[in-house]
Amino acid sequence: MLSRKKTMTAARHRQRGSIAPFMVLALGGALLATAYALDTNRMTSNAAQVKRATDAAAMAVGNERLMKNEKSPTVLRELAYGYVVNNLGMDTSLASQINRDSVELEEQTGEDERIRYKVEVRFKADPELLGGEVKDMRVHSTVEVVARSTEVAIVLPNTDSEGPTELAALRQMFKRFAGQLLDDDENSEKRIWLSLVPFSQVVNVYDPDDTGRLRRWATAAAIRPVELTSLWRTGIRDLSDGRMPDPRTERLCMNRGMYPGQVYYWDQPPTGQFTRVYYRHDLPENHPLEPSISWTGPNPDFGQATGVNDTRFIIGNVGCPRAALLPLTNQLKKVEDRLDEMRTGFNTNYAIGMGWAGHALSPEMRGSAGWGDSELPLDFPDSDKAQNAKIIVMLANTTGDWFDTDAYNAGKVGEAVQNGNNDPGGTATASRRFQDLCDSFRSRHLKFHFIGVRPGDPQDFGRQLFDRVAGIPLQTCAQGGGSMTFANAPTFNEGQEQIQHLLDDIADKIKHEFYARLVE
């Protein structure tokens, strides 16, 4: 019995001796696991922190490129480095590794032709507690920049359908629209510009700061049309004479390329090319608020210098809007002021309004020969995905049982536009003009948004006429990122809520020409 007790005691001593080394091993393993976890956590945390820093740097580079059109690699790389080092957190050992040579900036172009900037940071992952191998690490972020310089021509009716209430609605809607696209700061470097194109029968291009525009743009025959030969004999010099009604009311309406297929030559240089300068031969009592002059001579409507002499009158051209075309600007106040100048006009000519919208966006109108700006309009985009965009936004009342077919618009007063033998009303010719105009817009990669207002039964003739003449061609205009929509309303005022929603959608589409976003 005593021997058995001694044996059990000896066994217990041997167990205690074997537990001690096991505890040491277990404790060592726990320490190693802890060290591994700490090292792994720290390296993972460092990588995550560097990723946050490269995200911030990439977005900063994208916004700099976006807002200031800054392209200098040196400037952008220095900006990226500053954002990286200021977003590394509290790990001093990590921060000590990052210097200018550790930060790389690469400009890329994707398959969709959009610009991308990749910010990459190199650093070392050092398992300090375990004393393992130091690994080279690379973390990057990529930002996609859609920085299209964007030019928008806004085409608005100033016809006899737009009374004070309608004009008030148009002003309110488009002041909001312009405010969504332009900054209040007129010194903003955001590269987006708006033009305003009020239209009635024609478009007013008068500019008090460019008094030589008429003589520079028009042909000699257009300034002194032959049918007014008897008027020139009275001492009036030509249509630019300050005694004429239109110069007295700051109106200048002219056109070129009036025949089918010519589509106003909107994408060609203006100098000496305008063959038609408008004036209104009418009785003063028909528009008593307009200034007038009178003389004795033949009827100018016949387009000739001879005929029966009688007392003739020229009055202020009510079809030429009081508000002139505003060339591209990024100053919101200029747009708002021009909207305030809009007044009720006369008949409606949609195509002429569209043609002058093209002129407002054409680079051939750049410089002193055209609108007077040395930079604007910019070159035409070379594709729908180019780095600049030109957009037309047009609003029109599309109801009525009469359509201005341009049958009276030609090189001279009284010379009709050519019509087909089976087209006495000229609507087929007018439709062809719209199609040719939209084809020319698409060939120059112009985007086109159209909002029409029309109420009631779709089968009503007043709704059908616009669709028959202009509907299908305008769908061609709207291809390539545009739109063609209608508000079910009799007037702009009554349809204001619907139209405003449509305009908000268009503004959002336009703003998508201009953004920066992380893609990696």
For the chain, the domains span 19-146, 149-518
- For 186-214, what is the mean pLDDT? 88
Tens digit of pLDDT for each residue in 162-177? 999 999 999 999 999 9
Give, as one character, the DSSP assignment of residue 386: S
Cα–Cα separations (whole angstroms), residue 338 to 63, 122, 184, 253, 342:
31, 55, 16, 17, 7
Of the candidate ranges 61-75, 106-120, 417-431, 473-487, the one whose mean pLDDT is the lowest: 417-431
Report yes or no: 459 and 500 within 8 Å, Cβ to Cβ: no
Residue 257's Cβ-count burial label (10 Å; 0-12, 13-18, 19+) is: middle
Report yes or no: 40 and 32 within 8 Å, Cβ to Cβ: no
Question: Quick one: pLDDT at residue 38?
Answer: 42
CA atoms of 93 and 98, how far apart (whole Å)? 9
Please report which confidence band the pLDDT of residue 18 belongs to, taking 50, 70 and 90 as the band edges.
low
CA atoms of 236 and 238, how far apart (whole Å)? 6
Please report which confidence band the pLDDT of residue 394 belongs to, taking 50, 70 and 90 as the band edges.
very high
Of the candidate ranges 62-76, 140-154, 270-284, the one whose mean pLDDT is the lowest: 62-76
Tokens 């049918």 map to which residue? 227
CA atoms of 172 and 187, how far apart (whole Å)? 24
For residue 236, pLDDT beyond 90: yes
- 253 Cβ contact partners less than 8 Å away, ≥ 6 residues apart: 202, 203, 204, 205, 246, 277, 278, 317, 319, 320
As its CATH architecture, domain 149-518 has 3-Layer(aba) Sandwich (3.40)
Give, as one character, the DSSP assignment of residue 286: G
CA atoms of 177 and 169, how far apart (whole Å)? 12
- For 193-197, what is the mean pLDDT? 98
Please report which confidence band the pLDDT of residue 37 belongs to, taking 50, 70 and 90 as the band edges.
very low
Most confident of 20-24, 25-29, 110-114, 438-442: 438-442
CA atoms of 64 and 4, how far apart (whole Å)? 89
Q: What's the predicted TM-score (pTM) here?
A: 0.78
Bridge partner list, 147: 514
pLDDT over 70 percentage in the chain: 80
- For 204-223, what is the mean pLDDT? 96
Let me know how long the chain is.
Answer: 520
Report yes or no: 203 and 253 within 8 Å, Cβ to Cβ: yes
For residue 155, pLDDT beyond 80: yes
- For 439-459, what is the mean pLDDT? 88
Tokens 């410089």 map to which residue? 367
Question: Quick one: pLDDT at residue 50?
Answer: 82
For residue 317, pLDDT beyond 60: yes
